[in-house]
Copies of this chain bind each other. A is one copy, B any other.
Amino acid sequence: MVTEPHFSRVRDDAATAAVCDLLKQRFDDRFTTGASFREQHGHTTTNLKNQMPDGVVFVKNTQEVSDVVTLCNEHDVPVIAFGTGSSLEGHLNAPFGGISIDLSQMNAVVEVHPEDLNCTVEAGVTRKQLNDYLRDTGLFFPIDPGADASFGGMAATRASGTNAVRYGTMKDNVVSLKAVMPDGKIITTASRAKKSSAGYDLTRLLVGSEGTLGIITEVTLKLSGIPQAIAGGMCGFPDLESACNATIMTIQCGIPIARIELLDVMQIRACNLYSKLDLVERPTLLVEFHGTETGVAEQIELFGEIVADCGGSDFQSASRAEDRTKLWTARHDAYWASHELRPGAKGISTDACVPISRLAECVTQTQQDLEDNGFVATTVGHVGDGNFHVLLLLDPESPAEQEKADAFLSRLAHRAISMGGTCTGEHGVGQGKMKYMLEEFGPALAYMVAIKKAIDPKNIMNPGKMLPNLG
């Protein structure tokens, strides 16, 4: 593997200015260098510093993306894809400047093939938009990250959400991608066939590549049938460990549970405040079952027995759609609700994922860590996958708190990795978790760098993200 001297990037002001001029000529008012647009496109919901791009271009189709990338490649100027801006790890920042390519206007559903259970959407389509569009087909797309993210962003960060325990992540639900590569060429990674043994899996190489190898412009998605019956509910536990154990047993018993979410005491308190609920403040599992009427009834019965075995409260089933919606809305609002616990605080969200056998241990140690360090924080988890989130509520004016938080985040990543897990189950690496990549991947990291260098030799694609510079 050859180290190319170009790989460590330096900012070239003249080249950037030239590109901006050319983009202005070509895109007119769809290209802007206005500070507010630039700031919004470097926006992070995190503690990472905003690093603005030099300009923002609003594209309408794949060919335009190709034209912008070709131009930037010629002038050696970075490009950063932008969907809805819901990244939590600084994926959208422009540490070396460059052009933010905003794909939000590429928001057409290109085609739906109900008979093949798939559809193709432009990268700017959001998950809620697609599910509204599909409403009359009896099909839906199950993956639901916290934000109403765009499919380009969801694919690029290998997103998942509350349904992943049953339906998998973006890795499992993307059939094929259209992407613009660093040299401006447009590729389609795979056919619409349900499976193939032909060639390297470029689809899954781009899924999770965070815009560092190519810009995803269309996504062909696997769809699922809306289940005949949906039921859900909640139950409380005396401690986090019991809740985790109930989760582990549920997965081991092969119950095809659709959602199993853990909320800790602090999160329940926050939800009560924010969503005007009166839930008992204790570790709580929020669950949902999908299937036929009898299948769901069987699942509920089995799950109820497990909950009882683990010392949980009576499992309250909510089969009325209205009640379920209320509970799940509270869960989806968990991030915002948490801010009620410390008004004016800045929320820093992180995630980790471990083999489910280590989940109770990892969550318990993490809770102890939070307590030892006096953080105001909430923990929620897609615990059926061994994945959990911690939201720290920090005084935005306190460098000391920030420093303590950084140390905590680092301990959490190390803890997850040392338990055979990963520093991120679904948020991605971005800028925030680059420092854990070598620890997590060891010698494998060098091959990721080799791939990056081969496909993007000038390092124009979202530089300064995911891969620490090993060159």
Contacts and interface: CB of A to CB of B under 8 A. Distances in A.
A427 B197 CA distance: 6
B1 A454 contact: yes
B451 A191 contact: no
Given A205-B205, A455-B447, A252 B199 contact: no
Contact of A355 (B158, B194, B208): B194
Contacts of A294: 294-295, 298
Interface residue tally on A, bucketed by range: 35 or more
A182 to B, nearest CB: 10
A197 B447 contact: no
A116 B384 CA distance: 10
Given A356-B116, A425-B193, A450 B455 contact: yes
A207 B171 CA distance: 14
Given A116-B356, A116-B357, A422 B201 contact: no
Interface in A264-282: none
A106 interface: no
A192 B420 contact: yes
A364 to B, nearest CB: 16
Given A192-B421, A298-B295, A442-B188, A437 B198 contact: yes
Contacts of A43: none
A80 interface: no
B295 A185 contact: no
Contacts of A189: 444
A447 B164 CA distance: 30
A318 interface: no
Contacts of A421: 191-193
Nearest to A183: B1
B225 A355 contact: no
A32 B450 CA distance: 35
Contacts of A204: 171, 201, 204-205
Given A117-B251, A207-B201, A292-B295, A193 B422 contact: yes
Interface in A176-228: 181, 183, 185-202, 204-205, 207-209, 213, 224-225, 227
A440 B292 contact: no
A386 interface: yes
15 contacts: A1-B455, A159-B197, A187-B443, A194-B353, A194-B387, A196-B425, A197-B425, A199-B441, A199-B467, A205-B205, A224-B254, A225-B253, A447-B455, A450-B454, A450-B455
Given A185-B446, A204-B205, 16 more contacts: A1-B455, A113-B355, A169-B195, A172-B172, A185-B443, A193-B420, A195-B425, A196-B422, A197-B429, A198-B424, A201-B201, A202-B448, A224-B254, A225-B253, A294-B294, A454-B454
Nearest 5 A/B pairs, CB to CB: A454-B454, A225-B254, A196-B422, A204-B204, A187-B444
